[in-house]
Amino acid sequence: MLIPPAELARRRLVWEPLSRLFLDTELEPAQLEEIATILAASGYTPAELDDILFTEVYPICSPNLNPVAGEWRGFSLDWLEEQIVNLSATSLSRSRWTQFKRGIIRDKWRTIGELVAEKQKRRST
């Protein structure tokens, strides 16, 4: 995936909080709020964040939703960056399993997206 070097540092700030959606843990409301605060401060629009989540972070982290006991502590940001930068556009399958896994995070993502939009709206007024 071609990400301009100037954009890479900014992307790293959102990759880690987005990757938390794929951990084998239940996110508490305070954690969702923290993620939303970080994402809102990034300056990305909700649509851009949605794109980053599903085209960059999702293909790398979604396999963690497969095992019975997946990663729960967090993903290394350096590992995450390496995987995303080397991501092939063809690696994101449109299989039923992929759609199912997207559904697993959809409710959490919807909640976070609403919080991000609310925080960004407050900042702009």
The answer to whether residues 119 and 36 touch, using CB atoms and an 8 Å cutoff, is yes
Domain extent for 108: 5-124
**Rounded alpha-carbon distances, angstroms, from residue 23 to 16, 71, 86, 110:** 11, 6, 21, 17
Domain count, the chain: 1
Q: Tell me the angle at which helices 5-19 and 29-41 cross, rounded to the nearest 10 degrees.
A: 170
The answer to whether residues 117 and 47 touch, using CB atoms and an 8 Å cutoff, is no
pLDDT band at 68 (very low <50, low <70, confident <90, very high): low
Q: What is the pLDDT of residue 16?
A: 95
C-alpha 100, offset from chain centre: 16
Cα–Cα distance between 18 and 75 in angstroms, integer? Answer: 10
pTM: 0.75
Q: Residue 105 belongs to what H/E stretch?
A: helix 96-124
pLDDT (tens digit per residue) in 12-47? 999 999 999 998 888 899 999 999 999 999 999 999
pLDDT (tens digit per residue) in 76-124? 888 888 888 887 644 554 444 455 566 778 888 999 999 999 999 998 8
Q: Name residue, tokens 């993502």.
A: 109
